[in-house]
């Protein structure tokens, strides 16, 4: 970034400059309307800037660079992918099953989970990041905004390191372009969708991207108190996003960490439709629908095989999946993380629940509560979803005493030292279970 820094004063000439310094310090520490009081030192900004990784040489040669005529907004995104795939998509472009592809240039910057910032395009260039979008009556928000992708997911926490980098980057970008805190928005706030089975008109809610972005942790003040395009009648509101971003007077302000289950669940209910969960990806081939009976359909098969109005309550919705792999893995109670099948593929939003048990290749056992980043679990990790335990097997506390008649059922999971998790129906001799064996039982048992 070619960004100017704060003036650096010296005290070598005595106290002559002290009044000037004090006045400037007060000016710097007193925020203008819509700004925060967060101020970074010259050395902090210089150090941050020197560590930005220039990734611009990887940009797809098909992408045509164009300088923005004006910059009125900064838009933050969650990539919904891990780092390697995020960098590839934003720099090289997206490919679709129908053969269509994009030429890349989908962000100006990418912020990795460890806080490392990658420059995809210089901030002056237009990045094709917002898609179908509108804010305050202006369409094509990519034309007037800087785009920042945070590696992560809209239904999981971003890291402390990402927020630290966000604070520094946003501080500099605001100053460069004369922007205020309210000019920093999430993709979910500015994207809109065309009519679909749930909305007869153009509407908010096409994206869930970055709805979990915590403004305070990035050193920002509040967002707009209302959606200007909904208020103007240009778009229909999205009920879930409206509660997250624009709660009415006296309403509970929802954040990702304390939103009610109806707003955050990946399971379809009377209040939680496929659109509420998946946004524009509701009918994508990479969206997997796991019906209550266990049948699995890709999003592009629902209309022809079932119909959107017949999608049953209790259906689980998983984004960014290979449906065939999800279908294969669903056959097993003990699931395995591979290079393309993550904890989220198996557990959905329950990947960080205390009832999801992970058996790592190293021999460690963790519950979902200890998992902060679903992409960090090593390949070969096995897991079960919806379990309690362990209940230790001893001489006086046999498997039968713990699990009753279901001690040898396939749904009763034994963790045997040196062997890992094993289903009860795969154990031939229960009289010789080694010391340290623990039993995990379904929470509904």
Q: Over the chain (445 residues), what is each successive 10-residue block's mean pLDDT?
A: 30 38 40 56 93 96 96 96 92 83 95 97 97 96 98 87 96 96 97 93 93 94 94 92 81 46 68 86 89 89 92 87 73 83 80 93 92 81 95 94 95 94 94 93 87
Q: DSSP per residue over 399-429, as a string?
A: HHHHHGGGTTSTT-EEEETTTEEEEGGG-S-
Structural domain includes residue 378: no
pLDDT of residue 22: 38
Domain boundary among 280, 295, 319: 319
CA dist., res. 102 & res. 96, Å (int):
9
139, 277: one domain: no
Instruction: Name the residue range of residue 74's domain.
Output: 53-258
Residue recorded with tokens 């279970």:
433
Q: What is the pLDDT of residue 21?
A: 39
For residue range 335-371, list pLDDT tens digits in order: 998 866 778 778 877 888 999 999 999 999 999 988 8
pTM for this prediction: 0.75
Which pLDDT does position 28 carry in this prediction? 41
Residue 281 lies in a domain: yes
Q: Tell me if 367 sits within 8 A of 377, measured CB to CB.
A: no
3-state secondary structure of 23: helix
Are 268 and 277 within 8 A, CB to CB? yes
State residue 348 phi and psi, 5-degree precision.
60, -140
Altogether, the residues listed in the chain come to a count of 445
pLDDT of residue 323: 73
pLDDT at 87: 96
Say how far apart CA 352 and CA 361 lie, in whole Å. 19
Domain containing residue 242: CATH number: 3.40.80.10
> What is the pLDDT at residue 439?
97
- 288 and 314 within one domain: yes
Same domain? 91 vs 71: yes
Cα–Cα dist 418/434, whole Å: 10
Pair (315, 168) in one structural domain? no
Same structural domain for residues 240 and 146? yes
- Name the 3-class secondary structure at 100: coil
Which tokens go with 333?
């109670």
Q: Are residues 191 and 92 in the same domain?
A: yes
Cβ(77)–Cβ(152) under 8 Å? no
Residue-level pLDDT at 262: 42
């Amino acid at each position: 970034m070619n960004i100017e820094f704060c003036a650096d004063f010296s005290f070598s000439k005595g106290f002559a400059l002290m009044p000037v310094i004090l006045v400037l310090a007060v000016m710097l520490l007193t925020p203008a309307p819509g700004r925060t009081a967060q101020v970074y030192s010259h050395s902090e900004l210089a150090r941050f800037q020197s560590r930005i990784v220039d990734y611009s040489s990887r940009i797809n040669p098909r992408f045509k660079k164009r300088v923005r005529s004006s910059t009125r907004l900064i838009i933050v995104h969650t990539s919904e992918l891990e780092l390697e795939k995020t960098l590839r998509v934003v720099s090289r472009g997206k490919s679709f099953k129908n053969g269509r592809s994009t030429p890349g240039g989908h962000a100006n910057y990418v912020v990795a989970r460890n806080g490392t910032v990658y420059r995809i395009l210089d901030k002056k260039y237009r990045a094709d990041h917002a898609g179908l979008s509108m804010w305050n009556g202006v369409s094509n928000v990519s034309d007037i905004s800087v785009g920042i992708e945070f590696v992560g997911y809209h239904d999981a926490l971003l890291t402390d390191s990402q927020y630290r980098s966000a604070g520094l980057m946003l501080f500099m970008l605001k100053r460069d372009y004369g922007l205020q805190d309210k000019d920093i928005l999430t993709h979910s706030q500015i994207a809109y969708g065309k009519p679909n089975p749930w909305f007869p008109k153009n509407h908010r809610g096409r994206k869930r991207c970055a709805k979990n972005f915590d403004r305070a942790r990035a050193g920002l003040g509040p967002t707009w108190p209302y959606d200007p395009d909904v208020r103007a009648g240009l778009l229909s509101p999205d009920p879930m996003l409206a509660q997250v971003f624009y709660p009415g007077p006296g309403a509970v302000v929802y954040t990702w960490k304390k939103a009610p289950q109806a707003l955050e669940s990946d399971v379809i209910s009377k209040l939680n439709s496929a659109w509420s969960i998946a946004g524009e990806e509701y009918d994508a081939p990479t969206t997997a629908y796991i019906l209550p009976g266990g049948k699995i359909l890709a999003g592009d098969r629902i209309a022809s095989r079932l119909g959107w109005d017949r999608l049953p309550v209790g259906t689980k919705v998983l984004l960014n999946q290979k449906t065939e792999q999800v279908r294969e893995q669903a056959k097993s109670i003990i699931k395995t993380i591979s290079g393309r099948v993550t904890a989220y593929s198996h557990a959905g939003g329950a990947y960080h629940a205390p009832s999801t048990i992970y058996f790592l290749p190293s021999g460690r056992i963790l519950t979902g509560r200890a998992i902060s980043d679903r992409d960090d679990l090593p390949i070969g990790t096995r897991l079960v979803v919806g379990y309690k335990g362990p209940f230790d097997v001893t001489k006086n506390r046999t498997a039968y005493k713990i699990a009753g008649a279901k001690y040898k059922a396939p749904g009763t999971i034994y963790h045997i030292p040196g062997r890992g998790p094993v289903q009860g129906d795969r154990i031939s001799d229960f009289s010789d279970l080694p010391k340290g064996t623990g039993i995990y039982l379904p929470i509904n048992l």
